[in-house]
Structure 1
Amino acid sequence: MTTAFPLSWPDGFPRSKSRETGQFRTSLAGALNNVRTSLNLFGRDSGKPVTDVVLSSNVSLGCEKPADPGVAVWFRWQGMQVCIPVDRYATPAANLQAIHHVLEARRVELRHGTLALVMASMKGFAALPAPAGRHWSEVLGVSRTAGRDEIEAAHRLLIRQHHPDSGGSEAAAAEINAARDAALKERT
């Protein structure tokens, strides 16, 4: 399942071992807006809509500079699942801005080449779905037949232990919250 948080990185795509500062002069909000605009313009220019967009990162409220600044933009275009992942730079804003430039390069290909050329270059970004996370019962440490009360109790215990305010990580807390939500959704 591709998630906006925590970061869903495509299988088989290597991670950067070191990070550059980058020379982009764009805020996180500005870079995010640039990516959204580029996706819309790419869809318009190609005559093929861009759908199911997920901007995935480790950015959360109160944490715009996570330890892992990678960003992956997932979307569907021409019936193809596409992912443009960038973690070359030290901040999510710089990585988003780099994705914006990659999308703008595809628009240049459209202007000076053909749709067939762009389709060929986009195949390099074709992605399998993001790796599936652990089943909610495994995350919460309960059986798959656990009731709502047992699910809620397991969630409260784990979130107290793994919340960033208690020395845990944002990724762990997000996984625990997502597991609780998935479990309760099955119970409704």
Structure 2
Amino acid sequence: MIDAFPLQWPTGRARTPKHEIKWGNLNKMPSGRIRSLLVKELQLMGSDGFVISSNVEVRRDGLPYSGQKPPDDAGVVLYFQRKSVDIAISCDAWATADANLRAIGLTIEAIRGMERWGTEEMVDRAFVGFKALPERTIVTPYQARLWYDVLEVSPTASPQIIKAAYRQQLLKHHPDQGGELAAFNEVQKAYKEATS
């Protein structure tokens, strides 16, 4: 299940480097208006529910609490379903969460325009690129973690510390000791990456 807070960035999607973030004002309207325009576009497109995930804390009605400071990470992700397919549209190219949400809304509006103009096949193809990866349904938590996260060491750890952590994690996750095979294999792979 995807939560609205904190931000849950889609697996495999690159983040915008900090030096490329735009400081312009894409969102010359209140947060509530930006959200309501997006919701309207989703309804017109026939989406089956949605979640707006960001580091902005929101009330039950989806509007942000007043008086909170802007988040350090202004990225926003819209998760929704279209024709029973999970879609994730993410944006962190702007300096504010409102601007990123507005960019997502404008994207939905443009894609919906293709649908209105009679090119629904192109819309279906466009949404293939936004398909959410199956992270939400994966049973195992051992997916594409960095070797030092798996071994629970610093990225600059010495070879001796890496080896000690490797042995400790092997014992912890060994199937004969009640551990999961996926975690055990992940530890072996992480050690191989660390020492190659």
TM-score, normalising length: structure 2 = 0.60
SS in 1 for 2:88: strand
SS in 2 for 1:6: coil
**Which residue is equivalent to 1:167?**
none
Which runs of structure 2 are paired with 1:30-69 in the superposition (5 Å)?
30-43=33-46, 50-60=47-57, 61=65, 62-63=67-68, 65-69=70-74
When the two chains are superposed, the root-mean-square deviation of aligned CA atoms in Å is: 2.0
Which runs of structure 2 are paired with 1:11-160 in the superposition (5 Å)?
11-18=11-18, 19-24=21-26, 25-43=28-46, 50-60=47-57, 61=65, 62-63=67-68, 65-130=70-135
Asked whether the 8 Å contact 1:82–1:122 carries over to 2, the reply is yes
SS in 2 for 1:36: helix
Larger radius of gyration between Structure 1 and Structure 2: 2
Once the two structures are TM-superposed, the CA of residue 129 in structure 1 deviates from its matched residue by 4.2
Structure 2: distance between partners of 1:80 and 1:119? 10
CA distance 1:64–1:34, change in 2 (3 Å): farther
Once the two structures are TM-superposed, the CA of residue 40 in structure 1 deviates from its matched residue by 1.0
Structure 1 outlier segments of 4+, above 6 Å: none
Which runs of structure 2 are paired with 1:3-18 in the superposition (5 Å)?
3-18=3-18
CA distances 1:128-153 after superposition (whole Å, capped 9, x unpaired): 24568x8xxxxxxxxxxxxxxxxxxx
Structure 2: distance between partners of 1:42 and 1:126? 16
CA distances 1:46-69 after superposition (whole Å, capped 9, x unpaired): xxxx11311101001342511001
CA distance 1:111–1:54, change in 2 (3 Å): same
Aligned length: 128
TM-score, normalising length: structure 1 = 0.63
Once the two structures are TM-superposed, the CA of residue 21 in structure 1 deviates from its matched residue by 1.6
Asked whether the 8 Å contact 1:8–1:130 carries over to 2, the reply is no
Once the two structures are TM-superposed, the CA of residue 41 in structure 1 deviates from its matched residue by 1.6
Structure 2: distance between partners of 1:6 and 1:51? 22
Structure 2 gaps of 5+ residues are 58-64, 142-196
Which AA in structure 2 matches 1:23?
N
CA distance 1:30–1:129, change in 2 (3 Å): farther
Once the two structures are TM-superposed, the CA of residue 89 in structure 1 deviates from its matched residue by 0.4
CA distance 1:79–1:64, change in 2 (3 Å): farther
